[in-house]
């Protein structure tokens, strides 16, 4: 596991601050917290899927080469390797076009990742990513989309604040595990308070 961590660290440090290795470390801790209440889960699958879940993120690459290469090197059965691939594939929100999380392990990895997309750290990551992509902080004339394809979700360069309404504020209700739901509550409320204060400062 330590060797894998070292390998993925080099990959993630090439990304912007929203998806760097610190993001992976936080998701890993979230997953450990959820695993404490989900004892039937395969912890090894969860941990490896967390470490690898963004190495081939569509925001940064069109290829799954890094993911496939790292999984191929694992000393695991082909069945377990495929399980890890499935967990990774079932993490992404994809503009509301997410795949079904078909295993307990996938549910844990998804919840752990989404917890890092909300709350104080979620706010920081949103603006870090927006800054890296040259996005506006907010756009008073922009309406949040409620129905879009994955391509539309990824293609349009919406403002950072619009992203809250298109994804982040929806995540609390999409949490699956009991621990994930519990952990999401406070983080969600913090985002709501932040957006209320932001509106007060910029005017409606």
Provide the pLDDT for residue 113. 97
pLDDT band, very low/low/confident/very high, at 94 (cuts 50, 70, 90): confident
Provide the pLDDT for residue 3. 86
Mean pLDDT of 12-20: 93
For the chain, percent of residues with pLDDT exceeding 70: 99
pLDDT tens digits, residue range 99-108? 899 999 999 9
Half-sphere exposure at residue 86, Cβ-oriented, CA atoms within 13 angstroms: 15
Provide the pLDDT for residue 149. 77
What CA–CA distance (Å, rounded) separates 45 from 102?
A: 14
DSSP secondary structure, the chain, as one string: -HHHHHHHHHHHTTS-GGGSHHHHHHHHHHHHHHHTT-TTS-HHHHHHHHHHTTTT-TTT-S--HHHHHHHHTS-S-HHHHHHHHHHHHTT--GGG-PPP--SHHHHHHHHHHHHTTSHHHHHHHHHHHHHHTT--S--TTPPPPSS--HHHHHHS---HHHHHHHTGGGHHHH--SHHHHHHHHHHHHHHHHHHHHHHHHH--
**Domain parsing of the chain, residue ranges:** 2-202
Specify the CATH architecture of the domain 2-202. Orthogonal Bundle (1.10)
Whether 152 has a pLDDT exceeding 90, the answer reads no
pLDDT tens digits, residue range 42-84? 999 999 999 999 998 888 887 888 999 999 999 999 999 999 9
pLDDT band, very low/low/confident/very high, at 4 (cuts 50, 70, 90): very high
Higher per-residue confidence, 26 vs 156: 26
Whether 92 has a pLDDT exceeding 80, the answer reads yes
Mean pLDDT of 26-53: 97
Provide the pLDDT for residue 2. 67
* Mean of all residue pLDDT scores within the chain: 93
Provide the pLDDT for residue 196. 97
- The closest of 141, 113, 110, 146 to 25, measured between CA atoms, is 113
What's the DSSP call for residue 118? Answer: S
Mean pLDDT of 141-163: 85
Span of 29-43, 82-96, 141-155 with lowest mean pLDDT: 141-155
Whether 97 has a pLDDT exceeding 80, the answer reads no
Higher per-residue confidence, 144 vs 190: 190
């Amino acid at each position: 596991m330590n060797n894998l961590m070292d390998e993925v660290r080099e990959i993630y440090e090439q990304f912007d601050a929203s998806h760097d290795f610190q993001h992976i470390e936080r998701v890993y801790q979230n997953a450990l917290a959820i695993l404490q209440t989900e004892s039937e889960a395969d912890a090894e699958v969860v941990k490896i899927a967390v470490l690898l879940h963004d190495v081939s993120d569509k925001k940064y690459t069109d290829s799954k080469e890094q993911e496939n290469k790292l999984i191929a090197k694992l000393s695991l059965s082909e069945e377990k390797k495929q399980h890890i691939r499935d967990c990774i594939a079932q993490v992404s929100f994809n503009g509301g076009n997410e795949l079904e999380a078909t295993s307990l392990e996938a549910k844990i990895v998804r919840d752990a990742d989404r917890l890092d997309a909300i709350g104080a750290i979620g706010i920081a990551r949103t603006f870090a990513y927006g800054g890296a992509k040259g996005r506006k902080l907010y756009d008073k004339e922009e309406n949040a989309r409620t129905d879009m394809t994955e391509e539309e979700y990824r293609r349009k360069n919406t403002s950072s604040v619009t992203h809250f309404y298109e994804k982040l504020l929806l995540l609390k209700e999409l949490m699956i595990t009991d621990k994930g739901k519990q952990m999401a509550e406070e983080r969600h409320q913090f985002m709501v308070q932040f957006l209320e204060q932001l509106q007060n400062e910029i005017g409606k």
